[in-house]
Amino acid sequence: MTRTAFFISDGTGITAESLGRSLLAQFENVEIRMLTKPYIDSVDKARRLVSIIEATAVKDGTTPIIIDTIVDQDVRNVIREAPGFQVDIFSTFLEPLEQELATHSSYSVGRTHSIGSDDVYMDRIHSVHFALDNDDGARTHQYDQADIILVGVSRCGKTPTSLYLALQFGVRAANYPLTEDDQDDNGNLKLPEVLARHRHKLFGLTIDPRRLAAIRHERRPNSRYSSMDQCVQEVEQAQALYRRMHIPFIDTTRFSVEEISTRMIAETGIHRRFSPR
Amino acid sequence: MTRTAFFISDGTGITAESLGRSLLAQFENVEIRMLTKPYIDSVDKARRLVSIIEATAVKDGTTPIIIDTIVDQDVRNVIREAPGFQVDIFSTFLEPLEQELATHSSYSVGRTHSIGSDDVYMDRIHSVHFALDNDDGARTHQYDQADIILVGVSRCGKTPTSLYLALQFGVRAANYPLTEDDQDDNGNLKLPEVLARHRHKLFGLTIDPRRLAAIRHERRPNSRYSSMDQCVQEVEQAQALYRRMHIPFIDTTRFSVEEISTRMIAETGIHRRFSPR
């Protein structure tokens, strides 16, 4: 039997969905269809949604799970009429918080994901363009402005991580690909001069060679570039370099971009210019 | 009096921080310093954190607020000893959910932000590279594979939005700049042929000309490009084009990238290849 969970918000729905998925992920053996309903910011929209929830209850043959972060009292009252197991995050925690803080909350909608100050907006745009301009070693003369420089072999996850750091935390992340072109006389990978100068900013990525081969295969099937031999060799060389030069590094194989990024920040103590929104 | 809030997690801390900020944003008149403490995944780490919380309580002269999404019972028990107003999200909601779902939860750590399936990982990488390859009109021959094509004047927010759509939802978003080069005989902006062919995929961005001028000024100070006259004219022309061609559009001035992206998805019904993580 499949159950349906509704994540309902008067804003983006990001908080409701994030919390809802965290909670429901704890129930592996229950099949749950998850639907996010953002921008339910009027009594009318709430009524229409209640009809949908009612129809879903009939179709599923069981009550849906309703997880919401709606702030407006009137809208929330309508949702409360829907048939379902209701997880009302705001009323559960706001009232005790009001007592603790000895003040009334302002009950404003979607404050967290709204645009915030001009500074945050500018910082964000600036960081994203910094990541793009300094992607894949394209430029190196701005490295003195970088907060962090990611290094690693081609397709180990440098670009998505740089962009995530920029978008979510305002971190200025450059990235530089390690390739066979940078070798010393013994055939070992060496740090190019431009990276050696900024060694304290470097953070390495590594990856399981099998996964790397699979990813590269999507891009250039049956090439030397995507062969297991090539991937094993490149990854081994990169890891040897990290160890020799005492560059902190992380294995991206088992981690999502969120985990790689938050672990880097935790490990290096890089300053976040703003918070995840 | 400033109070301190700790957002504590055994994973990335994204859920705890997202919810914590949503809750505390309701208390505008209280000054709250917010600290995120991710990867508190052992009793030892929890004990060290409790010492920090104790010291903070003394320094602040008041008890901190503690908002956590720790799943492990032993780790959570240690945190419970810290002096503070505790918002224990998981135990508040998990037990009632267990009853409702008539099953025990698996109490596993950080399931939501972990890497998930290979498919999700590949989709994400593919979407990010799609956004990069198709940024700023760089390429147009892949538009048949695009889920959405953002159009708008230079620096109105196309690139950050495309990247956010890719990273968070796996949406393949291309973007194309509207410039004076594309005018009809009457001096009106017109859709270049390559866009006209994909008109049903277009989504317009617009922006307050004053804000646009400020953003452009950061890039090229005191240029024609960043002048108010130029910004006013470009924005007016773009909006006229959207109306004439019935292209849905959104004003990015008051909205964050999260809001722009989630509103676009809500309005167009684009399929999300995966969920925000």
Give the minimum alpha-carbon distance from A185 to chain B in angstroms, rounded to a whole number: 35
Residues on chain B touching A26 (C-beta within 8 angstroms): 71, 90, 94, 97, 105-108, 111
| The pLDDT value given to residue A111 | 55
* Cβ-based neighbour number of residue A177 at 10 Å: 18
**Residue A251 pLDDT more than 80?**
yes
Tokens found for residue B151: 């159009």
Least CA distance to A161: which residue of chain B? Answer: B167
Is A266 in Cβ contact with B39 (below 8 Å)? yes
B158 in A contact zone (CB under 8 Å): no
CB-nearest partner of B30 from A3, A21, A101: A101
A61 pLDDT exceeds 70? Answer: yes
Residue A37 pLDDT grade (very low, low, confident, very high; cuts 50, 70, 90): very high
A30–B103: do the CB atoms touch at under 8 Å? yes
With residues binned 3-state (H G I as helix, E B as strand, rest as coil), the percentages for chain B, rounded to 5, are 50, 15, 40
Residue A35 in contact with partner chain B when CB distance is under 8 A: no
Q: CA B215, CA B17: separation in Å to the nearest integer?
A: 29
> pLDDT tens digits, residue range B76-107?
999 999 999 999 888 888 888 888 887 766 66
Give me B28's structure tokens: 């505008």
pLDDT at position A109 over 60: no
Average confidence (pLDDT) over A198-209? 97
pLDDT above 90 for B192: yes
Cα distance between the two ends of chain A? 35
**Buried (b) or exposed (e) across A252-268, using 16+ Cβ within 10 A?**
bbebbbbbbbbbbbeee
Segment B8-14 mean pLDDT: 92
Position B111 scores a pLDDT of 55
Closest by CA position to A272, among listed B106, B217, B98, B38 = B38
Rounded to the nearest angstrom, the gap between the alpha carbon of residue A39 and the centroid of all alpha carbons in its chain is: 22
Entry pTM: 0.87
First-residue to last-residue Cα distance in chain B? 35
B157 marked as binding residue: yes
For residue B180, how many other CB atoms are within 10 A of its CB?
12
Rounded to whole angstroms, the Cα distance separating A261 from B6 reads: 20
Q: What's at B139, amino acid-wise? A: R
Percent of chain B at pLDDT > 90 equals 69
pLDDT for the residue A73: 86
Element (H, E) at A37: strand A32-37
Which residues between 166 and 225 in chain A have a beta carbon less than 8 angstroms from any beta carbon of chain B?
167, 214-215, 218
Q: Taking the CA atoms of B74, B80, B82 and B88 in sequence, report the sign of the dihedral they define.
A: positive
C-alpha B165/C-alpha B144 separation (Å) is 17
CB pairs under 8 A between A and B: 217
Yes or no, beta carbons of A108 and B26 under 8 Å apart: yes
DSSP E strand stretches across chain B: 3-8, 32-37, 65-68, 85-88, 148-152, 173-177, 202-206, 249-251
Q: Mean pLDDT, to the nearest integer, of A180-193?
A: 90
Q: Percent of chain B scored above 70 by pLDDT?
A: 94
Q: What is the pLDDT of residue B119?
A: 74
Among the partner residues B26, B103, B132, nearest to A107 by beta-carbon distance? B26
Confidence of residue B164 (pLDDT cuts 50, 70, 90): very high
Q: Is the pLDDT of residue A108 over 70?
A: no
Question: Where residue B71 falls among pLDDT bands split at 50, 70, 90?
Answer: confident
Are the C-beta atoms of residues A225 and A216 closer than 8 Å to each other? yes
* DSSP state letter for B129: H
Binning pLDDT at 50, 70 and 90, where does residue B114 land?
A: low
β-sheet bridge partners, residue A203:
A150
Q: Is the pLDDT of residue A106 over 70?
A: no
State whether residue B252 is helix, strand or coil. Answer: coil
- B76 CA: distance to closest CA in chain A (Å): 16
ipTM of the complex: 0.85
A35-49, A149-163, A176-190, B150-164: range with lowest mean pLDDT = A176-190
**Cβ(B112)–Cβ(B78) below 8 Å:** no
Q: How far is CA B228 from CA A43, B157, B213, B221, B233, in A?
A: 40, 18, 6, 12, 8
DSSP codes of every residue in B55-118: HHHHHHTSPPEEEE----HHHHHHHHTSSSEEEEHHHHHHHHHHHHHTS-----TTTTTS---H
Give the pLDDT of residue A58: 96
Number of Cβ within a 10 Å radius of residue A186: 6
Chain mean pLDDT for chain B: 91
- Higher-scoring residue by pLDDT: B228, A19: B228
Quick one: tokens of A58? 């009939």
pLDDT, residue A101, reads 85
Closest CA to A169 of A66, A58, A260, A68: A260
Residue B172 scores a pLDDT above 90: yes
Residues B20-38, mean pLDDT to the nearest whole number: 89
pLDDT at A6: 97
pLDDT in tens, B42-60: 999 999 999 999 999 999 9
Q: Which of A129, A134, A106, A21 is nearest to A67 (CA)?
A: A21
Check pLDDT > 60 for residue B109: no
B165-174 average pLDDT score: 95
Give B-chain residues touching A17 at CB under 8 angstroms: 275-276
**Mean pLDDT, chain A, integer:** 91
pLDDT of the residue at B15:
87
